[in-house]
């Protein structure tokens, strides 16, 4: 489709840690303004090239208890490094699917 070919990562790839380790990360997630429970945090390697990677996370959350009439869901993720207090947040707007019964 795009003519992009992904090469295999090298075994001696260099780590560039941009986020704290799993045990030093505090994560909080809101969906449509409601804080939801984080069911699982998984640290993964995100490769920048065949010889360089950084750490990233996959978060699995519970669903919110209430719904909104908005045509989209708003996801807010707040992260904090427990060692040095660095904080960051991200917002994601996801269009709701229209299902037919």
The contacts of residue 69 (CB under 8 Å, 6+ apart) are none
| Euclidean distance between CA atoms 41 and 26, whole angstroms | 10
- Report the predicted TM-score, pTM, of the whole model to 2 decimal places: 0.78
Tens-digit pLDDT profile for residues 12-53: 888 888 889 899 999 999 999 999 999 999 998 888 888 898
H-assigned helices in the chain: none
**56 vs 95: CA distance, rounded Å:** 24
For the cut 90, the answer to whether the pLDDT of residue 82 exceeds it is yes
Q: For residue range 46-68, what is the model confidence (pLDDT) as tens digits?
A: 888 888 988 899 999 999 999 89
Whether residue 80 is predicted with pLDDT greater than 80 in this model: the reply is yes
For residues 11 and 32, the answer to whether their CB atoms sit within 8 Å is no
Asked if 59 and 77 count as a contact pair (C-beta separation under 8 A), the reply is yes
Residue 31 burial (C-beta neighbours within 10 Å; 0-12, 13-18, 19+): buried
């Amino acid at each position: 489709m795009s003519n992009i070919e992904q090469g295999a990562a090298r075994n001696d790839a260099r780590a560039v840690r941009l986020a704290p380790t799993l045990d030093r990360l505090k994560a909080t997630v809101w969906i449509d303004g409601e804080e939801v429970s984080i069911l699982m945090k998984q640290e993964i390697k995100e490769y920048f090239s065949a010889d360089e990677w950084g750490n990233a996370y996959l978060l699995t959350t519970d669903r919110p208890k209430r719904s909104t009439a908005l045509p989209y869901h708003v996801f807010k993720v707040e992260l904090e490094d427990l060692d040095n207090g660095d904080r960051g947040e991200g917002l994601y707007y996801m269009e709701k699917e229209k299902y037919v019964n």
